[in-house]
């Protein structure tokens, strides 16, 4: 088997040099979480290659390229004690990284609409010791009001617009990241950072172009 620990160390060093990783906390999280444990076994040897790979589901689900996690999480400024909602659990890797950033006093809720992908994430998180993550099978575009409000919300699928329930469940102040735009657009979607201030006022900023699978659900591109 490859030396995954060495590959992980080189990945973090590379992402620091490229500017994806900006904080020591993000570097520590990515050094600690074993990405290989969240890969489909057919692709495990490519765990630290800078591209997405398929995971169990309906044929559309992927584990994102590893650099996309700091691209999402650094602007969210996750810190110890934060409550985080992730829409689209996928492999569970993103939830594990989020837990490392907010533990031990924080909370991570991760939602997945596909039952096969949900089971894959659940098994991965349990096996790697991240079973404190609250994993929910359901429509992530509706959020999870039981644990709201959230200091940060991360949507890992492209949406037509940021779902109103998620904006409602965002704390004041709070930050939300989402790819907005059609998954069929050849130029990709806009990665949008939405910030809500102490008075509930909202500001949006476009950070970069990205390519994500479509959000499925009431406020997504289609429903199951």
Active-site positions?
A: 64
Would you put residue 187 in left (φ > 0), alpha (ψ -120 to 50) or beta? alpha
Cβ proximity of 87 and 93 under 8 Å: no
Which of 67, 51, 48, 41 minimizes the C-alpha distance to 9? 48
Q: Which two tokens stand for residue 107?
A: 């909370």
How large is the greatest C-alpha to C-alpha distance in the chain, in angstroms?
53
Rounded CA separation 28/160 (Å)? 34
């Amino acid at each position: 088997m490859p030396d995954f620990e060495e590959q992980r160390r080189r990945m973090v060093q590379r992402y620091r040099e490229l500017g994806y990783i900006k904080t020591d906390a993000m570097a520590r999280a990515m050094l600690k979480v074993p990405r290989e444990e969240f890969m489909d076994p057919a692709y495990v040897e490519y765990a630290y290659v800078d591209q997405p790979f398929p995971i169990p589901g309906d044929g559309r689900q992927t584990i994102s390229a590893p650099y996309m996690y700091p691209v999402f999480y650094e602007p969210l400024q996750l810190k110890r004690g934060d409550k985080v909602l992730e829409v689209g659990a996928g492999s569970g890797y993103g939830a594990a990284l989020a837990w490392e950033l907010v533990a031990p006093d924080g909370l991570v809720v991760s939602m997945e609409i596909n039952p096969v992908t949900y089971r894959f994430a659940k098994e991965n998180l349990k096996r790697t010791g991240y079973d404190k993550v609250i994993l929910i099978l359901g429509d992530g575009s509706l959020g999870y009001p039981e644990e709201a409000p959230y200091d940060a919300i991360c949507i890992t699928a492209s949406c037509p617009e940021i779902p109103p329930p998620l904006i409602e469940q965002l704390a004041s102040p709070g930050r939300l990241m989402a790819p907005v735009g059609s998954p069929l657009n050849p130029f990709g979607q806009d990665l949008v950072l939405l910030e809500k201030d102490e008075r509930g006022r909202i500001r949006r900023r476009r950070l970069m172009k990205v390519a994500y699978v479509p959000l499925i659900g009431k406020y997504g591109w289609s429903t199951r």
